[in-house]
Amino acid sequence: MINFNYHTPTEVVFGKQSEDSTASLIKKYNGTNVLIHYGGKSAIKLGLIEKITQQLNNNEIKYTLLGGVVPNPRLSLVKKGIEICQTNNIDFILAIGGGSVIDSSKAIAYGLKYKGDVWDLFCGKAQATDTTPVGAILTIPAAGSEMSDSCVITNENGNFKRGYNNTICRCKFAIMNPEFTFTLPEYQTACGATDIMMHTMERYFSPDTDMPLTDAIAEGLLKTVKNSTLEIIKNPNNYQHRAQIMWASSLSHNDLTGCGMTRDFATHKLEHELSAMFDVAHGAGLAALWPSWARYTMRCNISRFVQFAVNVMGVTNDFSNPEKTALQGIEAMENFYHTIKMPTNLQDLIGRKLTQTEITTMAEKCSLGQKTTIGSFKKLNYNDMLNIYNAANE
């Protein structure tokens, strides 16, 4: 068990009508002049923009609206947001949406306090020491950004998708009403479930395996998300199951499921290159890569994969053949992805095989020009990255 610091300062307000407390929460965290940041149409269609602007009007809280965040949120809109906030003296950012909107909000919040180019933070040139407070009304459980210390932005200039982790960006509050997720298309529900599970799996497949309490939490979360996703596909308006997934989204990426363990996050890093280059949904990209990552790395610790197969995927343990059990666990995960219509290779994801040039470009970028490794379960160098991308491209 490694030493750890568990810091989750986000105030969670969960359940039906939880959005009614938005104005009081903004006041509690000293917001007087708010940027309401959202994506395309869903925040409007859900009636949230109208409801929240009315609430702010009733509470004499000033606001400015900025929509237009797209999945894999872009640096150009972040920069526009920073300018708008400076012109309007914004002191609080309210994100209404999913990971993309929350991350765009966090990046604007950093940019308001950082004197240089906000992209410096994402390419490791600087560290943020201050940020503007952000609160979120979550409409899609997936990225876990509502409680995470992470912010992921795509720079269109060169298609670089980079994450910046700093605990100061954690949301002041996260409002989660599962009813707002009834409208999610099956594809987005499945992408979300894949990402939620992956945030725990990236912590579960760790070189540290002496945290039975953390394992039990992780395995419980994974089984719950899997089961509730299958139920939601049958009945998208099932409040109970939507609620399980929504809460799991936050718990899976607020570090709870990884206390005492070294994170891996190699599949995430490999995926970020895919969504940077092809603008695919992050969850779908993860599903397309994970089986190849798993088969490539499983021999580093077969017993960990056996534990996953038996405790999470319900595989019967063949004690005489651990490798067979481990592989059956990976296949069971693949079958789950097939059931929820997620791709399990690059051809299914992109619609064609990738070229060798595309694969080498992604591996080059992911290894920062062959200078760095990713992952901890197995440290992956440039050649390992090529091998995994190629295996997913078979």
Applying CB under 5 A, which residues contact Zn ion?
A: 195
With CB under 5 to 8 Å by kind, the binding choice for 42 among ligand NZQ, Zn ion, none is ligand NZQ
With CB under 5 to 8 Å by kind, the binding choice for 180 among ligand NZQ, Zn ion, none is ligand NZQ
CA distance to 49, 51, 71, 96, per residue, from 91 (Å) = 19, 21, 25, 17
With CB under 5 to 8 Å by kind, the binding choice for 326 among ligand NZQ, Zn ion, none is none
Nearer Cβ to Zn ion (32/167): 167
Residues that bind ligand NZQ (CB under 6 A): 39-43, 46, 71-73, 97-101, 103, 139-140, 142-145, 148, 150-152, 180-181, 183-184, 188, 192, 195, 253, 268, 282
Residue 257: name the closest of 312, 220, 303 by CA: 220
Nearer Cβ to ligand NZQ (188/206): 188
Nearer Cβ to ligand NZQ (98/135): 98
Query: Can you tell me whether residue 331 is helix, strand or coil?
Result: helix
CA distance to 31, 141, 286, 365, 367, per residue, from 102 (Å) = 17, 12, 20, 25, 27
Residue 314: name the closest of 189, 206, 199, 219 by CA: 219
- Nearest residue to Zn ion by CB is 195
Q: Is 155 left (phi over 0), alpha (psi -120 to 50) or beta?
A: beta
Shortest distance, CB of residue 381 to Zn ion, whole angstroms? Answer: 22
Shortest distance, CB of residue 272 to Zn ion, whole angstroms? Answer: 9
With CB under 5 to 8 Å by kind, the binding choice for 139 among ligand NZQ, Zn ion, none is ligand NZQ
Residue 61: name the closest of 22, 98, 87, 12 by CA: 22
Nearer Cβ to ligand NZQ (73/291): 73
- 151-170 as b/e: b if 16+ CB within 10 A: bbbbbeeebbbbbbebeebb
User: What are the tokens at 327?
Assistant: 């592989």
State the Cα–Cα distance between residues 23 and 324, nearest whole angstrom: 55
Nearer Cβ to Zn ion (90/142): 142
With CB under 5 to 8 Å by kind, the binding choice for 81 among ligand NZQ, Zn ion, none is none
Question: Would you give the DSSP letter of residue 39?
Answer: -
Shortest distance, CB of residue 141 to Zn ion, whole angstroms? Answer: 12
Nearer Cβ to Zn ion (282/304): 282
